[in-house]
Chain A
Amino acid sequence: MSAYNFAYLDEQTKRMIRRALLKAIAIPGYQVPFASREMPMPYGWGTGGVQVTAACLTPEDRLKVIDQGADDTTNAISIRKFFETTAGVETTERTGEATVIQTRHRIPEAPLGDDQILVYQVPIPEPLRFLEPRETETRRMHALEEYGLMHVKLYEDIARHGAIATSYAYPVKVEGRYVMDPSPIPKFDNPKLESAAIQLFGAGREQRIYAIPPHTRVVSLDFEDHPFVASKADHACDLCGAEQSYLDEVIVDDAGGRMFVCSDTDFCATRQAEGHRGRFSPEAAE
């Protein structure tokens, strides 16, 4: 399709985004402003992630897109098709084979390697936003490393619920300096933020890019007597039997029936192909 430049964005825009990406990698966790463009999709559908992906893609890349861990949701399919059309790159559903993975709300279960880039779609990049509404003030707080307020939120959680009830978008401190919102991934995924892959975060509406370089120290905030716990539903996957993967709860009838399945569809399919079985697998149910 020659009417479009490679990967939709023009070269100047991609240069601008790459400059922001380089700065973001140089200062782990720092939110770099960039001139976000209008994309042919609504805000909230991953306009930031798409721009970062477009700036990273080369014709040799193999792209995977997931939404809440799944390859087959509307959001994932439409973004994958978008790059098939505008960049002509190969796409895949296999985590291990992808070189660029764009994700919404999950980190794949399979460990990522140093030849992979993980691009996050971010709705609200500012971790302090709901505590301090003024942008001028939050920037000053980042600059002066005044992060006491973040713990006030966790304090309130414990005071009200008896435990830290924040279960997604759980704040982290990157390389001992910036407090960062890891986008709305479940806190189960927080330990995976320390990875061999490059992790890039794009917020289109808020016009911010930030990054975690490979092997960067990422610490989830907590209290000494209420340490961070990477929690998940206390079940095994009903399709592949995995006990260490993040699960979706699916209501299956109107009589209280429910099943738990891996939210990472590729991880689950790979395990099923290897012969792992869960409680509701076709053979087991017979």
Chain B
Amino acid sequence: MTPLLSVRDIAKFYGPRVGCEGVSFDLYPGEVMGIVGESGSGKSTLLNVLAGHLPADRGEVLFDTRAEGLKDTLTMSEPERRMLSRTDWAFVHQNPRDGLRMGVSAGGNVGERLMAVGARHYGEIRDTALDWLGRVEIEAGRIDDRPNAFSGGMQQRLQIARNLVTGPRLVFMDEPTGGLDVSVQARLLDLLRGLVREMGLSVLIVTHDLAVVRLLADRLMVMKSGRVVEAGLTDQVLDDPQHPYTQLLVSSVLQV
């Protein structure tokens, strides 16, 4: 089986400081990979490099494109990469304000990606938007409201709908549950888990919340100081941590 995403020896430096270094892994279709680590461990840098938001200093990011098979996204042309990020990729930001257009209605936010790839029928765009709002549990009556009239949890669900509307195959998530209270978090995780299974999505999810990866991720990478210190199946890493830092991380979680 060809991996959907194959990352080879990625490195990113901020001047003399290391952003991330020597990261390699394969992500297979339908697989959810969690990246955990403390603040400043380079997990967000890694995600942004992989999604093409930051230039890498070394390495390859091979993506299984529909037309040409495995292709290095770091060296492909900008129009091609931007096309990928509008169709086959999705990026869910921690702060929904970064991923939404706050001045545009919920329907317009969901419809933007459709219009960007050429949809020109208002009625169909609106129907698709309504369908997606329903799938992320936003009432149909809110379709013409702007996101700033939504609660934090609704904004995050709207951002997810906006990203998944074009049926992407790979989703990057940067702390999707950060800043939400626990009950809203639980609903969002439930929703995400359903969508991932239903659509067969491959997901790279960055978080510092071990409960999130326990629920969502099949595999786990633990990062510290820009390097991957431990990787493996989620349950294996969390239940039997080998690296001292992972042991510290797992034992730091408060038990209620």
Q: How far is the CA of A268 from the CA of B197 in the complex (A)?
A: 68
Within 8 A of A (CB), among B59-82: 78-79, 82
Contact with A along B84-105 (1 / 0, CB 8 A): 0000000000000000010011
Residue pair A148, B115 in contact (C-beta under 8 Å)? yes
- Is the CB of B149 closer than 8 A to any CB of chain A? no
Residue pair B120, A224 in contact (C-beta under 8 Å)? yes
Residue pair A155, B107 in contact (C-beta under 8 Å)? yes
Within 8 A of B (CB), among A214-239: 223-226
Which of A63-71, A90-98, A156-164, A254-262 contacts the other chain? Answer: A156-164
Residue pair A152, B112 in contact (C-beta under 8 Å)? yes
Residue pair A155, B79 in contact (C-beta under 8 Å)? no
Contact with A along B187-215 (1 / 0, CB 8 A): 00000000000000000000000000000
Residue pair A223, B120 in contact (C-beta under 8 Å)? yes
Which of B10-18, B21-29, B121-129, B169-177 contacts the other chain? Answer: B121-129
- Is the CB of A144 closer than 8 A to any CB of chain B? yes
- Is the CB of B144 closer than 8 A to any CB of chain A? yes
Residues in B whose Cβ lies below 8 Å from that of A225: 121-123
- Is the CB of A151 closer than 8 A to any CB of chain B? yes
Residue pair B108, A156 in contact (C-beta under 8 Å)? yes
How many cross-chain pairs have Cβ atoms below 8 Å apart between A and B? 49
Q: How far is the CA of A146 from the CA of B115 in the complex (A)?
A: 10
Are A144 and B144 CB-contacts (below 8 A) given A155-B107, A226-B122?
no
- Of all chain B residues, the one with the shortest Cβ separation from A164 is B122
CB distance from A37 to the nearest CB of B (A): 35
- Is the CB of A41 closer than 8 A to any CB of chain B? no
Q: How far is the CA of A149 from the CA of B86 in the complex (A)?
A: 12
CB distance from B52 to the nearest CB of A (A): 14
CB distance from A169 to the nearest CB of B (A): 18
Are A152 and B121 CB-contacts (below 8 A) given A144-B82, A160-B144?
no
CB distance from A135 to the nearest CB of B (A): 17
Residues in A whose Cβ lies below 8 Å from that of B117: 148
CB distance from A157 to the nearest CB of B (A): 10
- Chain B contact residues: over half helix, strand or loop, or mixed? helix
CB distance from A229 to the nearest CB of B (A): 14
Q: How far is the CA of A144 from the CA of B82 in the complex (A)?
A: 9
Residue pair A144, B78 in contact (C-beta under 8 Å)? yes
Residues in B whose Cβ lies below 8 Å from that of A149: 112, 115-116
Q: How far is the CA of A159 from the CA of B116 in the complex (A)?
A: 18
CB distance from A150 to the nearest CB of B (A): 8
Q: How far is the CA of A224 from the CA of B79 in the complex (A)?
A: 26
Q: Tell which of A149, A159, A224 has the most Cβ of chain B within 10 Å.
A: A159
Q: Tell which of A146, A149, A152 has the most Cβ of chain B within 10 Å.
A: A152
CB distance from A190 to the nearest CB of B (A): 18
Residues in B whose Cβ lies below 8 Å from that of A226: 122
Within 8 A of B (CB), among A144-191: 144, 146, 148-149, 151-152, 155-156, 158-160
Residues in A whose Cβ lies below 8 Å from that of B168: none
Q: How far is the CA of A226 from the CA of B104 in the complex (A)?
A: 19
Are A155 and B125 CB-contacts (below 8 A) given A146-B82, A148-B112?
yes
- Please, could you name 28 A-B residue pairs with CB atoms under 8 Å apart, sorted by A? A144-B78, A144-B82, A146-B82, A148-B113, A148-B117, A149-B115, A151-B115, A151-B120, A152-B104, A152-B112, A152-B115, A155-B107, A155-B122, A155-B125, A156-B104, A156-B105, A156-B108, A159-B107, A159-B108, A159-B126, A160-B105, A160-B144, A223-B120, A223-B121, A223-B122, A224-B120, A224-B122, A226-B122
